Structure formats: structure tokens, C-alpha cells
Amino acid sequence: MSAVKQSRRSAREAVLQALYAIEIGKETRAKALKDILDRELRDEETKNFITQLFEISLDNRDWCEDQIKSRLNNWEFKRVAVLDRLLLVVAISEIFFIDSVPPKVSISEAIQIAKQYSTEDSSAFVNGVLDSIYKSVSLEKLAT
């Protein structure tokens, strides 16, 4: 095994991989989480972040997908690339349900991960959807 991984980006990538294993490989929730936690040596804080983000993403997946669907202009949800959809679910989960991470950090991280793992156009697509969500969250907070 290599050095202990501590970065939040590697944690987000691990969660994305686990969600992909569930989506494509039809892995169980428990096996997908165990596999990503066992795959690399990580400190406890990073393991806890992975577990938290993974569970929140799965528990709120339908709601997150509704957020995505409501922001697709002239585009069908089923045409969104699987990786982009899962990455958006992770980022939206982080924005709405993990208060310790500023939304702009979640958005920036999702864009960078899209650039690394998805298509040439994915980072702009992910940015557009998350920017729209961020603006609505900001407006909701101002209204309360």
C-alpha cells in the first residue's frame, strides 16, 4: 500500500467510485463502502468523511436527482452521463447536508473531478448545474 491518503478530493473520488460500483456493477451499499475504505490506506478523519458523504449521497439521491432535473434546460435527465449524474449527486449532497464544507469548495472540487474523469464538456455542465443550485441556496438563505 502507498502512503496514507488524507485529501478530501481523494475522498470525493472514492465516494464517486462507490456510487459508480452500485450503479453499474450492482454492488450492495455495504460492499461498495467496504471496498473503497479497504482500497487505500487513509486516516480516520478521511474515512469518516468518506462514510458520511457516501451515506448522505445515497440517502438523498432521489432528492438530489430532482434538483438536477429541475435545472436541465432542453436536456433529458436520462441523457446525462452516469458519471456526471453521480458526481452531481455527491456535490449536491455535500452542499446541502455537510455544513463543514463551504458550497464553493464543493463546486470547485466537482468541476476538477469532472475534468479528470469525465468528458471534455462535463466540467462546464457540472459547473452550470451546481452554480444554479448554489444561487438558489443563497437566495433561500437570504429569504430566511
Instruction: Spell out the domain ranges in the chain.
Output: 8-143
Of 82, 86, 87, 93, give the one whose Cα is nearest residue 49: 93
Q: How high is the pLDDT of residue 55?
A: 98
The better pLDDT of the pair 50, 78 is held by 50
Q: How high is the pLDDT of residue 76?
A: 86
Lowest mean pLDDT among 13-17, 75-79, 100-104, 114-118: 75-79
Give the rounded percent of residues in the chain with a pLDDT score beyond 70. Answer: 91
Residue 54 has pLDDT above 80, yes or no: yes
Of 56, 60, 36, 31, give the one whose Cα is nearest residue 46: 36
pLDDT band at 73 (very low <50, low <70, confident <90, very high): confident
| Mean pLDDT across 16-38 | 96
Q: How high is the pLDDT of residue 112?
A: 96
Q: How high is the pLDDT of residue 1?
A: 41
Residue 143 has pLDDT above 80, yes or no: no
Q: How high is the pLDDT of residue 74?
A: 78
Residues 48, 69: Cα–Cα separation, whole Å: 30
Q: How high is the pLDDT of residue 142?
A: 47
Mention the CATH class of domain 8-143.
Answer: mainly alpha
What is the residue-averaged pLDDT of the chain?
Answer: 90
Residue 64 CB-half CA count within 13 A: 21
Q: pTM for this one?
A: 0.90
Q: How high is the pLDDT of residue 5?
A: 59
